[in-house]
A and B are shown apart, each in its own frame.
Chain A
Amino acid sequence: DAGITQSPRHKVTETGTPVTLRCHQTENHRYMYWYRQDPGHGLRLIHYSYGVKDTDKGEVSDGYSVSRSKTEDFLLTLESATSSQTSVYFCAISGQGTYNEQFFGPGTRLTVL
């Protein structure tokens, strides 16, 4: 299995509070991605990174920010959580781009009350 972990695995928080999710990899892969999974929508890309300090927006980036200060860590921050951000969040990594598979972490279940 690819060395990719997510923390925390479960979190319950209140509306309006900041939340940071962490993705950590031991594979030294260049690309990292944050997705959210919701019923009826599959997975949707939030943000991705193509190197240290190099990030870009995905399909559903509003309300989210990311940072990557080290190759192995990719942080997803909800500055002020809302109930619409209740979801399961997956991090993924890839060594190259288009033709290479992405390896997924185990997911973080976030509930915003």
Chain B
Amino acid sequence: GDSVTQMEGPVTLSEEAFLTINCTYTATGYPSLFWYVQYPGEGLQLLLKATKADDKGSNKGFEATYRKETTSFHLEKGSVQVSDSAVYFCALSEDSSNTGKLIFGQGTTLQVKP
């Protein structure tokens, strides 16, 4: 079945460092891809999305490009802040029936130190 694999965490960076969180997927169809973020004690919220190959999603300085040839959707940010400390989830919507079901990766914890 479809699946999402994220890099193991936790990732610890200093403020203003460059961030990459790797995400690869396996899907039989043409999924939509998402990054969600979870701040401590909260539910998940959408960070960015891409619905077809070569699309780039971006939000709050974060970017990810839908790469069909490498089945990847890596999350990047040029300069992280302490406030970016959170758990990041890559997800796909595998869905030919349009129910919007999501398959999540295991999550990557990011800690940014001042």
What CA separation (Å) do A87 and B98 show in the bound complex? 28
Report A-chain residues with C-beta under 8 Å of the C-beta of B49. 99, 101
Contact B93 A98 (CB under 8 A): yes
Residues of B78-93 contacting chain A, CB below 8 A: 89, 93
Report A-chain residues with C-beta under 8 Å of the C-beta of B89. 42-43
Write out, one digit per residue, whether chain B residues 46-81 have a CB within 8 A of any chain A CB (1) or not (0): 100101000000000000000000000000000000
What CA separation (Å) do A89 and B97 show in the bound complex? 25
From known contacts A90-B43, A102-B46, infer whether A41 and B101 are also in contact, taking CB-CB under 8 Å. no
What CA separation (Å) do A70 and B114 show in the bound complex? 48
Contact A40 B43 (CB under 8 A): no
Contact B43 A107 (CB under 8 A): yes
Report A-chain residues with C-beta under 8 Å of the C-beta of B27. none
Write out, one digit per residue, whether chain A residues 18-48 have a CB within 8 A of any chain B CB (1) or not (0): 0000000000000101010000111111001
What CA separation (Å) do A107 and B16 show in the bound complex? 31
What CA separation (Å) do A101 and B113 show in the bound complex? 30
Report B-chain residues with C-beta under 8 Å of the C-beta of A102. 44, 46, 100, 102
Name the residue on B nearest A44 (C-beta): B104
Name the residue on B nearest A56 (C-beta): B99
Tell yes or no: B34 within 8 A of A by CB. yes
Q: Considering residues B4, B44, B46, which has the most beta carbons from chain A within 10 angstroms of its beta carbon?
A: B44
From known contacts A99-B32, A99-B51, infer whether A48 and B101 are also in contact, taking CB-CB under 8 Å. yes
CB distance from B91 to the nearest CB of A (A): 8
From known contacts A42-B106, A98-B93, A101-B49, infer whether A31 and B99 are also in contact, taking CB-CB under 8 Å. yes
* Choice from B43, B46, B98, B102 contacting A45 with Cβ under 8 Å: B102
* Choice from A31, A48, A106 contacting B42 with Cβ under 8 Å: A106
Query: Which A residues have a C-beta under 8 Å from some C-beta of B?
Result: 31, 33, 35, 40-45, 48, 50, 56, 58-59, 90, 92, 94, 96-107
Supply 11 further A-B pairs (C-beta < 8 A) apart from A42-B89, A50-B99, A98-B100.
A31-B100, A43-B104, A48-B99, A59-B103, A97-B93, A97-B95, A99-B32, A99-B49, A99-B93, A104-B44, A106-B43
